[in-house]
Structure 1
Amino acid sequence: MRRFWSLLSVLLWASCAWSEPSAELQEPLAGWRYSGLLDRSENPQVAYPTPPIDRGIQRNRTMIEGQIKAMGHLRQPHSLSVNGNPLNLYTDEQGRFGRPYAFGAGSNSVEVRSSEGKSLKRVQFYEANTSKTPARIRVVLGWDDPKAELDMHIVTPDGQHAFFGHPGLTNGGGLDPDGVDGPGPEMFTMTAPLHGTYLIYVNYWGNFGSGGYNFDAGSNQNEVITSQINLVLNENTVNEKRETFIVPMRAIGDLLLVKTFNY
């Protein structure tokens, strides 16, 4: 009898471990929506594993929140595809996740994919907040190491420099959100861009762990961190153009010019 129950336990465990994964999204939901501040309060919601930093200008964020169920042997990383921008997705032990994102007005989509690339959940919604002007320039940075902290730097045609220490520019551009806990996203947006030359840089700033930030070589997860930068012009219009850049980062302090482009 004892052997029977042991065998049954093993079979039940195997059934759970190998069952098909699924995902649910608590936010955003499909359909029409009107979103204001992060959570319509002064208390920002918490992203996994730490809350996003609010330096006073990051007021357009929406949390993408949900849970991946029956992960079994299919462990991290999973992925999010947000309006076509892929982002690595890491969860806690219960499969829960939360990532900040600044959606523009109009049609938006969020898709959760398994580590094997299978679509687990997809929602399409229409952002009806007309105070949100569509982005003419959007740059999205994500990376594949949750223990590393990468930063995006943007230089605009008038010489202003957007980065974590100066997220808001007087020309209307800025970082929102500024990812602080790996693996992003970091996002730069301009709704009324200046004409001229823009520079996109990526910096391997340091590492991030249970004890906070550090600069210990080897305390990251991957020997080579793969960053992905998506440049989107005229988002959500018939004139949308998109470029993707894959940039390896190897050592703390690396600062690489990713792209020079004219608008």
Structure 2
Amino acid sequence: MRSFLLLLIGWACLPALAAPSAELSEPVGGWRFNGLLDRSENPQVAYPTPPIDRGIQRNRTMIEGRLKAIGNQRGPHTLAVNGNPLNLYTDEQGRFVRPYAFGAGSNSVEIRSAEGQSLKRVQFYEANNLRTPAKVRVVLGWDDPKAELDLHIITPDGQHAFWAHTALTNGGGLDPDGVDGPGPEMFTMTAPLHGTYLVYVNYWGNFGSGGYNFDESSNQNEVITSQISLVLNENTVDEKRETFIVPLRAIGDLLLVKTFKY
């Protein structure tokens, strides 16, 4: 009996494990006007590695924060931006930085743990009316940080947006272009052409400590699970949203995900 009591006392004296949490240093909640104080012209580090800045969206905001008490699990956690879920990985200190081009009006950012628990949510109102909401937005993310996937968009006038041709003359653009896995890659148009759009995803290759390679055994997962979100008239009363889960197995796979009209 005495041993049992001592065991109970020992358990009671153990320090409580800290619950997983998240902090966001950018963006902050509330009302704001991003104009003269916009820092998007300045290069910033993104974790775990930086996205390519093609210069298409000069008014984008860096979503920056840190996950705490997550143990050895680096992800994938979830970054949900205006309802668009993206895989979120961090550096060894739990830090992350991801870019997003917010439109005027009400916007939200939520951090969820790998188990789906909401750790932090920020709601803010962007009062800069020059930040036109996206009428067409396509977001690609995937679940393997060692795989490199590419988003391809064909617009109604026949232009092709992809990693080697990111800025279109019709105002559409691919930015950011994730080059290191697991994304995101994002196509945006604020004044879209009327007509038919084609959305493709390509399993281009793999990415590791030695750079790019085409060794199919060097990825992390046997099957790469990609998630493509199509959002029309984002952040308005006419918003429409679809999400597609597309498995990719072999390097070189190019799949037509969606054909839609605007």
TM-score (norm 2): 0.89
Whole-Å Cα distance in 2 between the matches of residues 223 and 148 of structure 1? Answer: 11
- Residue 237 of structure 1: aligned partner: 236
- Residue 218 of structure 1: aligned partner: 217
User: Secondary structure, in 3 states, of the residue corresponding to 2:128?
Assistant: coil
Does the Cα contact within 8 Å between 2:226 and 2:246 map onto a contact in 1? yes
Does the Cα contact within 8 Å between 2:53 and 2:175 map onto a contact in 1? no
User: Secondary structure, in 3 states, of the residue corresponding to 2:217?
Assistant: coil
Aligned AA for 1:83?
N
How far apart are 1:239 and its partner, in Å?
0.8
Whole-Å Cα distance in 1 between the matches of residues 194 and 38 of structure 2? Answer: 34
Count of residues paired in the alignment: 253
Aligned AA for 1:137?
V
Unmatched tracts of structure 2, length 5 or more = 1-10
- Residue 96 of structure 1: aligned partner: 95
Does the Cα contact within 8 Å between 1:19 and 1:72 map onto a contact in 2? no
Does the Cα contact within 8 Å between 2:74 and 2:89 map onto a contact in 1? no
Whole-Å Cα distance in 2 between the matches of residues 222 and 255 of structure 1? Answer: 18
Q: Kindly tell me: are residues 55 and 172 of structure 1, through their superposed partners in 2, closer, same or farther at Cα, counting changes over 3 Å?
A: same
Q: Kindly tell me: are residues 123 and 199 of structure 1, through their superposed partners in 2, closer, same or farther at Cα, counting changes over 3 Å?
A: same
Does the Cα contact within 8 Å between 1:100 and 1:185 map onto a contact in 2? no
- Residue 8 of structure 1: aligned partner: none
- Residue 124 of structure 1: aligned partner: 123
Whole-Å Cα distance in 1 between the matches of residues 256 and 36 of structure 2? Answer: 33
- Residue 70 of structure 1: aligned partner: 69
Aligned Cα root-mean-square deviation (Å):
2.3
- Residue 176 of structure 2: aligned partner: 177
User: Secondary structure, in 3 states, of the residue corresponding to 1:218?
Assistant: helix
The one-character-per-residue Cα deviations of 1:228-258 (angstroms, maximum 9, x if unpaired) are 1111111111111111100001111111000
The one-character-per-residue Cα deviations of 1:194-245 (angstroms, maximum 9, x if unpaired) are 1111000001111112222222212111111111111111111111111110
Q: Kindly tell me: are residues 41 and 104 of structure 1, through their superposed partners in 2, closer, same or farther at Cα, counting changes over 3 Å?
A: closer
Q: Kindly tell me: are residues 252 and 220 of structure 1, through their superposed partners in 2, closer, same or farther at Cα, counting changes over 3 Å?
A: same
**Structure 1 segment 198-217 matched on structure 2, within 5 A:** 198-217=197-216
- Residue 189 of structure 1: aligned partner: 188
How far apart are 1:129 and its partner, in Å?
2.1
- Residue 106 of structure 1: aligned partner: 105
Bigger shift: residues 213-222 or 103-112: 213-222
Whole-Å Cα distance in 2 between the matches of residues 205 and 97 of structure 1? Answer: 25
Q: Kindly tell me: are residues 238 and 39 of structure 1, through their superposed partners in 2, closer, same or farther at Cα, counting changes over 3 Å?
A: closer
Whole-Å Cα distance in 2 between the matches of residues 167 and 216 of structure 1? Answer: 26
Aligned AA for 1:177?
P
Does the Cα contact within 8 Å between 1:38 and 1:45 map onto a contact in 2? no
The one-character-per-residue Cα deviations of 1:38-60 (angstroms, maximum 9, x if unpaired) are 96264410111222212232423
How far apart are 1:126 and its partner, in Å?
1.3
The one-character-per-residue Cα deviations of 1:177-199 (angstroms, maximum 9, x if unpaired) are 21222211111111111111100
Structure having the higher Rg: 2
Whole-Å Cα distance in 2 between the matches of residues 111 and 56 of structure 1? Answer: 26
- Residue 78 of structure 2: aligned partner: 79
Does the Cα contact within 8 Å between 1:39 and 1:45 map onto a contact in 2? no
Whole-Å Cα distance in 2 between the matches of residues 125 and 249 of structure 1? Answer: 36
Whole-Å Cα distance in 2 between the matches of residues 201 and 63 of structure 1? Answer: 26
- Residue 148 of structure 1: aligned partner: 147
Q: Kindly tell me: are residues 106 and 134 of structure 1, through their superposed partners in 2, closer, same or farther at Cα, counting changes over 3 Å?
A: same
- Residue 24 of structure 1: aligned partner: 23
TM-score (norm 1): 0.89
Q: Kindly tell me: are residues 56 and 131 of structure 1, through their superposed partners in 2, closer, same or farther at Cα, counting changes over 3 Å?
A: same
